[in-house]
Structure 1
């Protein structure tokens, strides 16, 4: 869709009714080894509640995995089913013609299933994989499920031409169910841990049965040559100690080219070594930060965690970790935590700093960097854990009932669903939006949900197989209502690291700032490769043009796709322009 038409589309989407939030009980952390925060974090009342548009069909699929592509569409997938196979959904929620509505009889609305019953899986179960999106709008999936746990799939989107789309599949050196992945400064992709047998990840597994499933290794993959390195074991100490909760570790590229790995509650720094080649690259443990206070952050008591936007000159890289379960070894009856902590990963001597208690507890939520530089916490539950439980029946806010018999929720089984409203955290002030001050989605999004940022600066949430949901909803945050929005008319389609980015725009108010955000790739509360940077803004001598100074350090902008968003002095944000950033040779 042309960029200039996105603003007009947004006006149509915002005409839909907002759903009011309702109150619930506060939750307080218990049982931490570190001292508890003494009180709640400061809060603010948003200028409005934002708005939801609901009931966008996802082609009969649970959108458990989701990536944003170069053209702004969203690609998603789940596990195998009798009806859809290893199906893949391609969604275009910014196109009003794809939304259900009056006068559209005979037209199947919502996402469409592409590439038949194999989709982008290559015929190998890609459920529970780790995923990234490249600068070429390719989707690469590492690991998988059951018998296909040791496969890699490399999908070429071919600019959306389905006849030219291709999937390359190849075996991995070892099985990786729930691996962590990150793109490095030279475009190679680092895959870390996961387990070598599906289901062997949590504190109640039979360790005798799962002992051989421990995979405390890492490997690198070059998307240009489609070759991978051998498995290396320099991270064994941390990963083996975290097992069987070594799955979906957060792997974060640092400004010096090393990586930080969060496994369970440990946080360790590794320096990159070698000649830069695939076979000559390794990572050496150089230091460790203190453990994150409180229970482990990972499956099945998953918290929300993400890098905060970096401020020029990029000397600080803060990582926020919030929510999760109140205590380790949580069950379906354990309340979620409302505690939040952050740490500066650019400082090897940094300590975890309490952000204070959030206005509402949350487990299994999704974190997203929003277009105004705030953090949105979406989806999730108030009690319970990830996983599949006993039969249960629900009735949703739109009156739809779901009688679950298998693969049912182990969270919020009372059906109250008090966590359909997002919470926004402002890194500049350290404040959260007040509880229930933002609009509620219609459907709960519990285990196996996803959330991505669209080029319209709206958020699309989807998934939740435990509530039988094959729809998506789109949220318009409060900052989209701050008066006339700038419109990016055009901009650089691709650049190399360190090269200035040029944009042409129209705006009724002076544009003063620009935010660069990595495009979304998410599953299981994991925002792979997520990062954002405030760029120095240099207005051009020609009205409506700007040159944005990209950082010279390639570790700050690893190759991939990024959204650029312009800001006015009044806080209005533009639509996003997606640019491909390639490796600087």
Structure 2
């Protein structure tokens, strides 16, 4: 498969070169790196077609704002990984977790590892590993309190010898990112429930003067590894006393209609609890 950009107005497809392990893209994950305005995408892991044993440890990154976009390799995972989960966090990091080395966890190949990707340094940071293996039909959700929920998995077999049929995983795990182990976090309350594109809304925060970034993050809509709706949009903002006024960008392609979680993050990278905001 050749990756590229499809212009829906002209029906023209422009190929983007540079994709490593192009024969191992099935069951890979794709994420729009935060903030969405940067228009950088990461493709994570993947495997061969069907029940192939091939798996890739590669990450590949493309900057669609470049004059001549092309994929370049980012930091590698430790193992070839099918079905990786990628979740955007309010501090602009991305949690990459789980997956399996073989098709649907075959041969007891689930990967019990989690890593935080830092777009600013293009690097992975080791964090607490999951206790439950996750592969096919698994998912992750960013919760409004800044934690993550992991669920699902549909292993083909239940044993390493591949003699017992697998069962759908019903255990749920909650992951608490490092930013929630700090002494305090910004508060955020009040404000409108609806803010149109190009319009502003004012919220209350005793920590308004410490806020360094504000993000609108789409709630999860994950299926078959990739969440095509996932995005974190940077908002312009202004602090005045205990008031924080935020402005939603105008672009409809950037800010799609629907509900978002609004997070305010301080200089330490600690986010507030989210306020739900609807963009009509």
Q: What is the TM-score of this pair, normalised by structure 1? A: 0.43
Q: Matched residues in 2 for 1:284 and 1:531: separation?
A: 25
Partner residue of 1:549?
247
Residue 441 of structure 1 deviates from its aligned partner by: 2.4
Alignment of 1:473 onto 2:159:
no
Partner residue of 2:59?
340
Q: Matched residues in 2 for 1:567 and 1:366: separation?
A: 23
Task: Tell me the secondary structure at the aligned position of residue 555 of structure 1.
Answer: coil
Contact preservation (8 Å) 1:289, 1:348: no
Partner residue of 1:324?
46
Larger radius of gyration: 1
1:307 corresponds, among 18, 32, 40, to 32
Q: Matched residues in 2 for 1:579 and 1:348: separation?
A: 34
Any residues of structure 2 matched to 1:181-580 within 5 Å, and which?
A: 264-272=1-9, 284-285=11-12, 287-290=14-17, 292-296=19-23, 298=25, 301-310=26-35, 314=37, 316-325=38-47, 328-329=48-49, 331=51, 333-334=53-54, 336-347=55-66, 349-381=68-100, 383-385=101-103, 410-414=104-108, 417=110, 419-434=111-126, 438-466=127-155, 467-507=167-207, 510-540=210-240, 543-580=241-278
Contact preservation (8 Å) 1:538, 1:548: yes
Residue 512 of structure 1 deviates from its aligned partner by: 2.2
Change (3 A) 1:348 1:447: same
Q: Matched residues in 2 for 1:572 and 1:422: separation?
A: 20
RMSD (CA atoms): 2.3
Size of the alignment, in residue pairs?
Answer: 269
Task: Tell me the secondary structure at the aligned position of residue 179 of structure 2.
Answer: helix
For residues 521-546 of structure 1, give each alpha carbon's deviation from its aligned partner in whole angstroms, at most 9, with x where no partner exists. Answer: 11110112111122222113xx2211
Change (3 A) 1:473 1:349: same
Task: Tell me the secondary structure at the aligned position of residue 145 of structure 2.
Answer: coil
Q: Matched residues in 1 for 2:183 and 2:170: separation?
A: 34
Residue 348 of structure 1 deviates from its aligned partner by: 5.8
For residues 493-523 of structure 1, give each alpha carbon's deviation from its aligned partner in whole angstroms, at most 9, with x where no partner exists. Answer: 0121121132222339722221221111111
Contact preservation (8 Å) 1:265, 1:291: no
Task: Tell me the secondary structure at the aligned position of residue 357 of structure 1.
Answer: coil
For residues 440-462 of structure 1, give each alpha carbon's deviation from its aligned partner in whole angstroms, at most 9, with x where no partner exists. Answer: 32221111111111101111111
Task: Tell me the secondary structure at the aligned position of residue 269 of structure 1.
Answer: strand
Any residues of structure 2 matched to 1:116-135 within 5 Å, and which?
A: none
Task: Tell me the secondary structure at the aligned position of residue 525 of structure 1.
Answer: coil
Question: Gapped runs of 5+ residues in structure 2?
Answer: 156-166
Residue 339 of structure 1 deviates from its aligned partner by: 1.0
For residues 269-313 of structure 1, give each alpha carbon's deviation from its aligned partner in whole angstroms, at most 9, with x where no partner exists. Answer: 3143xxxxxxxxxx6215332262223465xx31121101137xx
Change (3 A) 1:471 1:427: same
Task: Tell me the secondary structure at the aligned position of residue 480 of structure 1.
Answer: helix
Q: What is the TM-score of this pair, normalised by structure 2? A: 0.87
Question: Gapped runs of 5+ residues in structure 1?
Answer: 1-263, 273-282, 386-409
